[in-house]
Amino acid sequence: MTQATRTVRIGSAHGLHARPAKLFAQAAKEAGIPVTIAKAGAAPVNAASILGVISLGIDQGDEVALEASGEGAQDVVDALAELLLTDHDAE
């Protein structure tokens, strides 16, 4: 099984609050393969769970680890990383 990991620094000015977390969780769900997100020192959570993502309390500049396993895992991780690098609060 293909597995991909990537560490990303959060770009949104207010971190992963409701709107960016919803965009991220929705994209993770649509990927169709298991994806987790973890903040340093915290257990990984299901990236497709908006409540799980928000529960991590991720702020701007925090580093998170993404991990996906399955068909196209690298593409999924890259696409989700782009979402996390974007400042959704600047739009």
What pLDDT, in 10s, does the model give residues 28-62?
Answer: 999 999 999 999 889 999 999 999 999 999 999 99
At residue 91, does pLDDT exceed 90? Answer: no
Active site residue 14: no
Look at 77 and 89; give whichever has higher pLDDT: 77
In this predicted structure, what is the pLDDT of residue 31?
A: 97
pTM of the model: 0.93
The pLDDT score that the predictor gives to residue 33 is: 97
CB within 8 A of 30, min separation 6: which ones? none
State the Cα–Cα distance between residues 58 and 40, nearest whole angstrom: 10
Structure tokens at 28: 């993770």
Given the residues 5, 6, 13, 17, select the one marked as catalytic: 17
| CATH placement of domain 3-90 | 3.30.1340.10
Q: Can you list the alpha helix ranges (DSSP code H) found in the chain?
A: 18-31, 50-55, 73-85
Q: What are phi and psi of 69, to 5 degrees?
A: -140, 130
